[in-house]
Structure 1
């Protein structure tokens, strides 16, 4: 089954990599995250295009203005320190920009079992806050993030809780996955093994989805 693909990315960091294991052949490379499926990618910008951190860029099937091609899918461990440092902030902004979707998520997310609710697995949301959130949404569904903060005391910024959960899933540290597609997660694990093997044998530039 073909993995789902993001149409838009947010830039996390830019760097330069050696092409075909030759230090004198340098190509620009940008690390980014997908807005919908949270796919971590390494992409090559078009000639004379400089992509800025946090910038939103199109990588769909139509004509691309700034991205030439996708180099490869990467994992959290492949991210530069700079990319890791801005990851939570970038994801939080995406969550805010997709507020309608995530409010629907908060209004409908269900229990894992009779003993534990799914929200309890989110960083910063324990059993007590989960109980208050469920009680409030049963009275009236939440309208937006501010509505949750207003009605649930001490819940804090919900977009940050969601972003931290997504980061946890990207790291592979979660026991329950709500945002990262498990099929993609398996693909990434395979990609990680292939990348590590490639580093031992010499880097091979496996570009895909080239667009001119």
Structure 2
């Protein structure tokens, strides 16, 4: 049986252990760790997620600006993009063991168990915002540096863009353009699954699925490139 999710002081103590920050407003903390999928929740973390994304971007940009004083924009931009990417936030959520603290739909948590998932990325960004609102920018900065600064020293590889690469490959031999068509949309509003087909004149369509239309289109383009031998293997996730 899963352990009961802590609330109140127990939740605040657990968060302090992983963030180094002691919340004054426990209700704000509870909101930050409540996903929109949570049943009967009076509020959720969507607004805080919006703010946290911006606070994270500012702190990371400043960190990189100070840390790499001689690096040109073209060098630090991909590093910045990797550090603020939702996959990085999700990985940090797993590292912090936030899945035991976030209030969310049980089925959603079960599907994402062990692999993070967007709900954990959302929670991390919302937690950043909550720390900022509760304790100010310096408190948020200290939390962000605690987890993001070590990653800034690691090698960053720019992720491949399957849609752009497919369009460039087609353009070499044809004036046609890839066309993406939604085949179906399944699942609840907070956790949809899209199935998309990419169609190119003279080729069989390829199918891809994902949690957003964009992700499904990228999956379809990747499948096309792999099938036609343009790619030898699927692209690895962006590396930090």
Q: Which has the higher contact order (CA 8 A, sep 6+)?
A: 1
The answer to which structure has the higher helix fraction is 2
TM-score tier by shorter-chain length is under 0.3
The answer to which structure has the higher strand fraction is 1
Larger Rg: 2
TM-score by length of 2: 0.23
TM-score by length of 1: 0.25
